[in-house]
Amino acid sequence: MDKKYIILIASILIFLISLPAISQVIDEKERYANTPDELIPYVRQEPYRRYFIVPLEYTGPGREKPEPTDLDAVKIGLIAPEYRLVPPGVSMEDQYFEMGRHIIQGAVLAVEEANARGGYRGKLPYKLIKRNDPVLEVKDSWLWGPFSNQVVDLAYEDKVWAIVGTIGGENSHILIRICLKIEIPVVNVADTDPTFPETKIPWVFRPIADDRLQCYLLAKYAYEKMGYNRIAAIRVNGRYGRVGIKEFREASRRLGHPLLFELRYNYGQTDFSKHLQRIKNAPVDAVITWGNAEDSARLLKQMRAMGLKQPLLASDRIVCEKFLKIAGADAEGVVAAYPWDPTRDDPRLVSFKKRYQKRFGEPPETYAAHSYDGVNMLIQAIEKAGLNRAKIRDALDGFRTNIYHGVTGYIPLNDVYCDVGPIALAIVENGKFVFRSEGKLGIRLSKFSEK
């Protein structure tokens, strides 16, 4: 028999043998977060082990420490990119500092309102201690030394009870490893790096949906709702682009539509002609990009200028006025993943928007809302636990079962303390972003999705 027929028969037999495994039902206890059946890894065979499905716990010391009696305030640390710390001759996008400003404002409002209610148990005011996140995202290089010093200073000089922040996956990974050694709670309100919980550090909590869940929703929308078959990726050459697009790439493969190819560009790049020429020469149904707003807008403008009409899918960082301003009319129809639906008819959200607008003279955006929720969760944990870092960690762990309902919606924490509540898509219609919840899209990943 011809060799090629032998290979074909063998392939068919292997496929048939795997069919029972494909149809196996994955028990909810064996399912990571909101992963749909068709996106669960290794459904064609039983893996040796499934990770991140066992609740984290802290079994070390610290709970026996008495509460101090000589304090004049209860300090909460906050790390966000507040001002520039960039070497001469290096350019830096303003988006990081806009994100940092909103994170700070959300935290400030939460602390001010807590103090208006009487502060810590009616005895002490809460005090926000801000430290700058020295962002430098050039060729995937960040200022880890200065950032590390900020974390250490917060813990030992400022003596904060917990730390809130920050944005980039690079600095966040440094932050949580230092805090593991210090044994201090961390509430991350802005970093959507999907590898963040893989460290399995029991001091770390993230009340914002990550890129993994956002990519699941985006992939199911692209392939199942829109019927795209061939998608190409263009992403920024940095950690944000690398780990973000990885989730979409894997979701595409599991849905039976492997990415045609994946191209990279540098932060601040202005000429994408070589990338786009390859797309022009290939049978591409849609393009997905993972990067900051300004870069993504320039990419889109050049796509349209070269006559490329394919729909553009993108990450949540493009959902801002800067993207719309730069892209102009070319932005119409762009679809981006988003960690929540900011147009929900929720009294908590409506009231928050009014208070935020009055306090800061502008509407809140995603980082302000998530920062507000994260700080309020932390304050609630401090009120319950008292001034003991280990007990504050335990109280934050309690939000796994006692689900917090904030201005961004329900925040159910999974076994590795990440928000797996409802997410959404942001679609540009008539020059504005319009939000479609899981319920409206008919793609429900979270059990808290509205119908």
pLDDT digits (tens, 9 = 90+) for 347-356: 999 999 999 9
Mean pLDDT of 229-256: 95
Mean model confidence pLDDT for the chain: 88
Residue with tokens 């793609």: 443
Q: What is the pLDDT of residue 93?
A: 56
Which of 131-135, 336-340, 422-426 shows the lowest mean pLDDT across its residues? 131-135
Residues 184 and 162: beta-carbon distance below 8 Å: yes
Is there a contact between 63 and 146 (Cβ–Cβ < 8 Å)?
no
pLDDT at 280 (0 to 100): 95
Helix, strand, coil percent content, the chain, rounded in steps of 5: 45, 15, 40
Lowest-confidence range among 8-12, 152-156, 370-374? 8-12
d(CA 225, CA 216): 13
Residue 70 corresponds to which tokens in the numbers above?
A: 């000589």
Q: What average pLDDT does the segment 216-242 reach?
A: 95
Confidence band for 81, pLDDT divided at 50, 70 and 90: confident
pLDDT bracket for residue 50 (50, 70, 90): confident
Q: Which residues contact 224 (CB under 8 A, 6 or more apart)?
A: 255, 443
In the numeric block, the tokens 């934050």 are attached to: 396
pTM of the model as a whole: 0.89
Give pLDDT, residue 177: 87
pLDDT of residue 6: 57
Helix axes of 273-280 and 293-305: crossing angle, nearest 10 degrees = 50
**pLDDT tens digit string along 296-306?**
999 999 999 99
Nearest 5°: the CA angle 225, 229, 235 is: 95
Instruction: Report the pLDDT averaged over residues 423-429.
Output: 97
The answer for residues whose C-beta is within 8 angstroms of residue 353's C-beta and 6 or more apart is 363, 364
Say which range, 192-201, 286-295, 299-308, has the weakest mean pLDDT.
192-201
**Cis amide leading into 59 (omega within 30):** no
Distance of alpha carbon 83 from alpha carbon 89, whole angstroms: 17
Cα separation, 167 vs 172, whole angstroms: 7
Single-letter amino acid code for the residue at 407: V
Q: Is residue 89 pLDDT above 70, yes or no?
A: no
> Strand 432-437 and strand 424-429: pairing?
antiparallel
Q: What per-residue confidence (pLDDT) applies to 24? A: 47
- Calpha distance 166→258 (Å, rounded): 33
The answer to whether 331 and 208 are in contact (CB under 8 A) is no
Burial of 335 (0-12, 13-18, 19+ CB in 10 A): buried
Average pLDDT of the segment spanning 286-309:
96
Of 147, 143, 139, 135, nearest to 93 by C-alpha is: 135
Tokens 């401090």 — which residue? 382
How far is residue 263's CA from residue 193's CA, in Å, rounded to a whole number? Answer: 20
Residue 154, token pair as written in the block: 């917060």
Q: How far apart are CA 369 and CA 105, in angstroms?
A: 9
Q: What pLDDT sits at residue 196?
A: 87
Contact 360, 338 (CB under 8 A): no
Is the backbone of residue 320 left (phi > 0), alpha (psi -120 to 50) or beta? Answer: beta
**What percent of the chain stands above pLDDT 90?**
69
SS3 for 81? coil
Q: Determine which of 25-39, 61-75, 105-119 has the lowest per-residue pLDDT on average.
A: 25-39
In the predicted structure, residue 140 carries a pLDDT above the cut 50: no
- Structural contact between residues 145 and 171, judged by C-beta atoms closer than 8 angstroms: no
Residue 139 pLDDT: 38
Contact 77, 162 (CB under 8 A): yes
> What's the pLDDT score for residue 447?
78
- Please report the pLDDT score of residue 40 as a whole number: 83
Position 41 scores a pLDDT of 82
The answer to which of 44-53, 171-180, 181-190 has the lowest mean pLDDT is 44-53
